[in-house]
Structure 1
Amino acid sequence: MIRDDIKQATVQAMKAGDKPRTAALRLISARIKDRDIEMRTSAKAVDDDDLVTEVLQKMAKQRRESIQMYEEGGREELAQQEREELAVIEEFLPQMMDETATRAAIEAVKSDLGASSVKDMGRVMAELKARHGAVLDMSKASGWVKEALG
Structure 2
Amino acid sequence: MALKDQIMADLKQAMKNKDQDRLRVLRSLKSSLLEREISERKEGEATLSDEQVIEVLMKAAKQRKESIEQFEKGGRDDLAQSEKDELEIINSYLPEMLSEEEVRDIAREKIDQLGAENMADMGKVMGAMMQELKGKAEGSVVSKVVKEELS
Q: Structures share a fold, TM > 0.5?
A: yes
Runs of 4+ in 1 over 6 A off after TM superposition: none
Gaps of 5+ in 2: none
Q: Residues of 1 paired with 2:117 and 2:35: CA distance?
A: 40
Indicate the RMSD between aligned Cα atoms, in angstroms. 1.8
Q: Residues of 1 paired with 2:98 and 2:85: CA distance?
A: 23
Q: Residues of 2 paired with 1:149 and 1:68: CA distance?
A: 28
**SS of residue matched to 1:92:** coil
Q: Could you list the per-position Cα deviations for residues 94-114 of structure 1 after superposition, in whole angstroms to 9, with x for gaps in the alignment?
A: 100012210111112112222
Deviation of 1:47 after TM superposition, in Å, equals 6.9
**SS of residue matched to 1:136:** coil
Gaps of 5+ in 1: none
Aligned length, in residue pairs: 147
Q: Residues of 1 paired with 2:101 and 2:53: CA distance?
A: 25
What TM-score does the superposition give when structure 1 sets the normalisation length?
Answer: 0.89
**Greater fraction of residues in helix:** 1
Q: Which residue of 2 aligns with 1:48?
A: 49
The letter of the residue matching 1:89 is: I
Q: Residues of 2 paired with 1:50 and 1:126: CA distance?
A: 18
In the alignment, is residue 121 of structure 1 matched against residue 122 of structure 2?
yes
Q: Which residue of 1 aligns with 2:25?
A: 24
In the alignment, is residue 11 of structure 1 matched against residue 12 of structure 2?
yes
Deviation of 1:135 after TM superposition, in Å, equals 0.5
Q: Which residue of 1 aligns with 2:63?
A: 62
Given that 2:100 and 2:145 are in contact with CA atoms closer than 8 Å, whether structure 1 keeps it comes out as no
The letter of the residue matching 2:110 is: V
Q: Which residue of 1 aligns with 2:34?
A: 33
The letter of the residue matching 1:25 is: L
Structure 2 vs 1, CA of residues 109 and 83 (structure 1 numbering), >3 Å: closer, same or farther? same
Deviation of 1:75 after TM superposition, in Å, equals 2.2
**SS of residue matched to 2:134:** helix
The letter of the residue matching 2:6 is: D
Q: Residues of 2 paired with 1:33 and 1:19: CA distance?
A: 21
Q: Residues of 1 paired with 2:29 and 2:79: CA distance?
A: 18
Deviation of 1:57 after TM superposition, in Å, equals 1.1
Q: Which residue of 1 aligns with 2:134?
A: 133
